[in-house]
Amino acid sequence: ARRLEGSGVTVNALTPGVVRTNLGRHVQIPAVAKPLFSLLSWGLFKSPEEGAETSVYLASSPDVDSVQGRCFADCRPQVLLDKATDPDLASKLWDISEVMVGITT
């Protein structure tokens, strides 16, 4: 968000939460535990539609037109740890990420 400040581009982050999808279809779960896991996922995990709510909210709600650089969960801004918003740590993470993926700016 800091890098794009003043550009007219809005930057926010979000977490959809734990969503019932097929992403874990290759996870090895013992056969006897699969029915229990499936039952628990239906009771505890969000549906894909529920998981998409925060994305849709951030993309379309006038309530967040002027909100910049925040992290959202369940359509609400979250309070982050200080280290999650530390500019020095962010810069170090950026530099390390560039090296790991083989790019430079």
- The model carries a pTM of 0.75
pLDDT value at residue 78? 97
pLDDT tens, N- to C-terminus, the chain (105 residues)? 777 888 888 899 999 999 998 887 788 888 888 888 888 888 899 999 999 999 999 999 999 998 999 999 999 999 999 999 999 999 999 999 999 999 876
pLDDT tens figures, 31-43: 888 888 888 888 8
pLDDT value at residue 105? 67
Per the CB < 8 A criterion, the answer to whether 18 and 44 are in contact is: yes
CA distance 93 to 91: 5
List the alpha helices (DSSP H) in the chain.
34-44, 48-60, 87-101
